[in-house]
Amino acid sequence: MKLITAIIRPTKLPAVKEALFKAGVRGITISKVSGHGGQGGIVEHYRGNKFVVEFHEKVQLSIAVSEEFVQPTIDSIVESAHTGSIGDGKIFVQTLDQVVRIRTKEQNADALTPVAA
């Protein structure tokens, strides 16, 4: 089991969400975040004044998946979030030791499977 954390452009969220659903990934947590990578701050002009935009608005996706969904999840995010420009984002993959679905008390891979409505 893995926790996939992706930081993407907010404008790419609809495309990424659609690509993940097509890949069979259903459980997603989305957060608004801000930060910067290697590009650092950008100088902007507003009403004749210069100011530095130090942090950029991004969207963070947290997705817990079983092993067979790791690569399809990564591929879906990369293909749908890619623009080729600085600031496209990053994907982090971490190992999960344990997962528990509170409602049913299912554990680990059983807790990661999609739930029928």
**9 lies in some domain:** yes
CATH at residue 107: 3.30.70.120
Alpha-carbon span 104 to 9, nearest angstrom: 35
**16 lies in some domain:** yes
**8 lies in some domain:** yes
**117 lies in some domain:** no
Backbone angles phi, psi at 71, to 5 degrees: -70, -40
Residue-by-residue DSSP string for 46-97: ETTEEEEE-SEEEEEEEEEE-HHHHHHHHHHHHHHH--SSTT-EEEEEEE-S
Task: Provide the domain count of the chain.
Answer: 1
The domain in which residue 23 lies consists of 2-112
Q: What is the pLDDT of residue 41?
A: 63
Backbone angles phi, psi at 37, to 5 degrees: -105, -140
State pLDDT tens for residues 15-61.
999 999 999 998 899 999 988 777 666 677 777 887 777 788 999 99
